[in-house]
Amino acid sequence: MVERMLHLAPGANIGPSAVLNEVHAAAERIARAAGSGNAHAARILKDGSGNEAVAFIDAERCGIDASDRARLLQLDRELVALAILAGRLGAAGEALDRVLAKEPDDLDALAWQGYIHHRNGDTEAAAALFRLVYERSDKEAGDQCKVCVNLGSAYLELGKFDDAEKMYREAQSIFEQRNDQQLVADVRGRMGDVFFERGDLRKAEEFYNTALKSNKLLGLNEAVAIDCARLGRLLHALGDMRGAEAMFRESLKHNKRAGLLNDAASDYESLATLRAERGDFDGAVAMQRRALRIYEQLGDRTGVAIGYGNIGASMKASGDIAGAEEMYRKALAIDKEIGRLEGIAVNCANLGYLLEERGEISEARKLYMSVLEMEESPGRPDVFAACGERIADLAISRGDLDGAEELLSQLLMLARDDDLDQVVAKCCSNLGLIKIKRGDSSGANRDLTKARNLFNRLGDMDEVKRVDGLLAELEDDNP
């Protein structure tokens, strides 16, 4: 049962010793109940359902007197671990709030909170918590290695490659001192990710192959699968589609052999991407549906939501607009149910684009506005900015120049803060259009020139051509 539960893990290091401890404790609790004739517990032992395990522990917790602080704390810790593994981040967050209310300095709990932020797309908040745990860890005992990998991964996503490399090398040094060859190989693979993101693909390939060789010698199907998937991604980037597909299929084989269904689902998604890139959208949807079935089987609501969204994107690309809308709405409903902010923002935006293309402007605008009005950050400034751009474009088209200018000015500040150059360029070009409509030729020329220079630097030649056309018209009108 424990092994089946752990196979739900979404592939990120979240303090494995703590997770194992809590999942084992929950499994023992459920096994005792099954041995006493509890039918619900017996079903969980048989099926290994993460969702049912969460429900069982939660029900036991509800029956505990509030004065039994220690027991309530332990059950909440078990709930956090089980809910994380089952992809129920909302439920995990609720239990975690109760843990931290009782034990605000619990480093495992703070690391879990960072992990939940990470999964919800708020990498900045995740990095801050991982850094806090790192700083408070016992360095002499090497306890910081629990979050070195987490912090390195967060830094990697934030584009802080030197910081990510530093964390990974520190973790590797500790693991080498402990002669833990499995974790040494794991960090080597992650080091390959750093070089991949830096654009040094040959150096990344060197690290990936070293990790793959070690993991094959250790007989670790799960790790071999991860390394094969990394090599698939690298070969894809190098344009070797046949080699990439071979690696993803090899990864799929090892994940199935190890019973790692969640990771097998990721392999199906990667194979879907390859098919979509060659225009085989039906084939892409077929692969994505295989991934979706796995997420449904595991009760991973986050995975199901992402799966529906991916299928929607492939259907839209193939021209099946009705099918895409259905998938996006299903994804959005689940994201709202589980409180996945990134998913809510992304699916509102995708639905908005689709409805706008279909001429349903009012409904599209409502969806874009729902993203801008979110009380908490979804952790996706690019999506936030894109929705703002669409609202500004719609405002310009209906003549509301003041409203569009105010919104674009706000977006411009946001985009500059988050280094979103494409958004900065688009905002500048739209501000230039507004100034053209107002007869402010000098201001229009200034904003459009900024936009053209940025688009040129980004290599977006279609936008350069469009803005050049506007500048030429401006010059003709003002000789």
Domains identified in the chain, total number = 2
Q: Which residues contact 152 (CB under 8 A, 6 or more apart)?
A: 163, 164, 165, 166, 167, 168, 171, 190
pLDDT at 13 over 70: no
Q: Kindly tell me if the per-residue pLDDT of 70 is higher than 70.
A: yes
Residue 86: per-residue pLDDT:
74
Q: Which residue has tokens 């990394």?
A: 230
Break the chain down into helix, strand, coil percent, rounded to 5.
Answer: 80, 0, 20
CATH code of the domain containing 427: 1.25.40.10
pLDDT average, residue stretch 88-98 = 87
Determine, yes or no, domain membership for 292.
Answer: no
What confidence score (pLDDT) does residue 382 get?
A: 76
In whole angstroms, what is the distance from residue 229 CA to residue 208 CA?
A: 10
Say which residue the tokens 């991949």 belong to. 196
Domain for residue 205, yes or no? no
pLDDT at 9 over 60: no
Q: Which of 249, 347, 257 is nearest to 307 (CA)?
A: 347
Residue 313 maps to a domain: no
Domain boundary, last residue among 70, 97, 120: 120
Residue 210 lies in a domain: no
pTM given for the model? 0.64
Burial class (CB in 10 A: 0-12, 13-18, 19+), 393: middle
DSSP E strands, 293-380: none
Q: Two tokens at 476?
A: 């003709």
pLDDT averaged over the chain? 86
Residue 89 lies in a domain: yes
- The span from the CA of 71 to the CA of 60, in Å, is 10
Q: 154-173, pLDDT tens digit by residue?
A: 999 899 999 999 999 999 99
Segment 305-354, tens digit of pLDDT: 999 999 999 999 999 999 999 999 999 999 999 889 999 999 999 999 99
Mind giving me the DSSP string for 362-421?
HHHHHHHHHHHT-SS--S-HHHHHHHHHHHHHHHHHTT-HHHHHHHHHHHHHHHHHTT-H
Give the structural domain span for 476.
Answer: 383-479
Query: Within a domain: residue 141?
Result: no
pLDDT classification of 142: cutoffs 50, 70, 90: low
Domain endpoint, select from 64, 96, 120: 120
Residue 448 lies in a domain: yes
Contact 228, 211 (CB under 8 A): no
- Domain end (from 66, 101, 120): 120
6, part of any domain: yes
